[in-house]
Amino acid sequence: MSVQLAVADSATIRAPARRVHRLEPAALAGVMSRDVVMFGRYWKATTFSSVMQPTIYLLAFGLGLRATVRLPHYVEYVGTGVVATAILFSSAFPGMFNTFVRWQFQRTYDAMLAAPVDTEELITAEVLWISLRAGAYGMAPLLVAIAFGLEPEWGMLLVPFIGVLTGFGFAAFGVLIAAVAKTIDNFNYVTSAVLTPMFLVAGTFFPVHNLPVGVRTVALGNPLYHCVQLVRDCSLGHIGAADLGHTGVLLAFALLMWRLAVWRLGKRLID
C-alpha cells in the first residue's frame, strides 16, 4: 500500500529541502494579499455601512434619549460604546459568512490549501485580516462622535489596537461558528441568541452596573464589555489599572477563539 510520485534519480538528488515553519509570514501574506485585492472591490459598500451605522445609533439613541432622559454626556457615552459594536459587527459577521462562503460555496480554501499553505496559516491569516479591518472600522464611530461634539483625546490613538485585539477574538469566534454550522441559515441562531444580547449588554447604550446582579455578572464575562470599557477609558482619558484587566480578558478571549477556530475548521478542511 504505497504511492510514490516522481521519485526517479533526478528527484532523489534534489536540492536540500527548504525548511518550513509553522505560521510562515510568506504564507500569511499570500492569503492576506487575496483579501486585500478583494477588499479593493467592495470597500465602498463596507465603509459606507460602517460609517452610517454609528451615525444612526448616535442620532437615534443620543438625540432621541437625550430628549426624554437627562443625560449630559450621552454623546461621549454612546459614541465610545458604539466603537465596540462596530468592531463586533465588522469581525464576527465576516468571520462567519466569508469563511462559510469561501470554504463551502466558492471552494477558495480548497484552492489555497493545494498551494504550500496549511490550515493553521490559512485560518490565522483570514482572522488577522478581518481584525485589521475591524481596527480601522472601529475608528469610524469615534470620528462620527467627534463630529457630534466629542473632544478628541490622545488616548483615542489606542482604539485601533483595541479594535484589532477584540476583532481578532470575534473574527475567530465567527470562523469557529462557520466550522460547526451545518448550513448558512444556522448563523441566525448565533446572531439572535449570542451576538445581539452581547452587544446590548456590554455597557454600550446604558451602564451595566444598573442591571440586575445576575445580568451584571453575565455582562462581566462578555468580552465586548471589556472592549467598551477599554475604548471609553482611552477615549475619555481615564486610563487606569482596571484597563490591564480588560486587556487581559480580550487577550485571553482572542487566544482561546483562535485556537478553537484553527482546531475545528482545520479538521473540516482536510478530510
Partner 1 sequence: MRKRYGQIQAVDGLELDVPAGVCFGLLGPNGAGKSTTMRMLTAQALADAGRITVLGYELPRQSKQARMEMGVVPQLDNLDVELTCRQILTVFARLYRVARGDRAAAVERALRLVNLHGRADTIVRDLSGGMRRRLLVARGLIHEPRLVLLDEPTVGLDPQVRQELWSLIDGLRSRGVTLLMSTHYIEEAERLADTVAVMSAGRIIAQGTPADLVRAHAGEQVLEVYGRPDRLAEVSDLALRNGWSSRRSGPAVAIMRAEMLDGQGPEGVRRPANLEDAFVALTGEEIE
Which residues in 63-96 are b (16+ Cβ under 10 Å) and which e? eebeeeeebeebbbbbbbbbbbbbbbbbbbbbbb
**Binding site residues, partner 1, CB under 8 A:** 1-12, 14, 17-18, 20, 26-27, 29-31, 33-34, 37-38, 41, 106-108, 110-118, 269-271
Task: Pull the grid cell for residue 116.
Answer: 504550500
Q: From 150, 126, 142, select the one nearest 33 (Cα to Cα).
A: 126
Dist. CA 209–CA 223, nearest whole Å: 16
Contacts of 209 (CB under 8 A, 6+ apart): 216
Please, which residue, 29 or 157, has the CB nearer to partner 1?
A: 29
Dist. CA 104–CA 101, nearest whole Å: 5
Please, which residue, 7 or 67, has the CB nearer to partner 1?
A: 7
Shortest gap between Cβ of 108 and partner 1 (angstroms)? 6
Task: Pull the grid cell for residue 66.
Answer: 437625550
Shortest gap between Cβ of 140 and partner 1 (angstroms)? 24
Please, which residue, 185 or 271, has the CB nearer to partner 1?
A: 271
Long-range Cβ contact pairs of 21-27 (< 8 A, separation 24 or more):
22/120, 22/121, 23/120, 23/121, 23/124, 24/121, 27/116, 27/117, 27/118, 27/121, 27/122, 27/125
Residue type, 70: R
Shortest gap between Cβ of 5 and partner 1 (angstroms)? 4
Please, which residue, 35 or 243, has the CB nearer to partner 1?
A: 35
Please, which residue, 9 or 185, has the CB nearer to partner 1?
A: 9
Shortest gap between Cβ of 31 and partner 1 (angstroms)? 7
Please, which residue, 29 or 63, has the CB nearer to partner 1?
A: 29
Shortest gap between Cβ of 85 and partner 1 (angstroms)? 28
Please, which residue, 101 or 181, has the CB nearer to partner 1?
A: 101
Shortest gap between Cβ of 40 and partner 1 (angstroms)? 9
Element (H, E) at 214: helix 213-220
Shortest gap between Cβ of 130 and partner 1 (angstroms)? 17
Q: From 160, 109, 172, select the one nearest 134 (Cα to Cα).
A: 160
Dist. CA 202–CA 81, nearest whole Å: 8
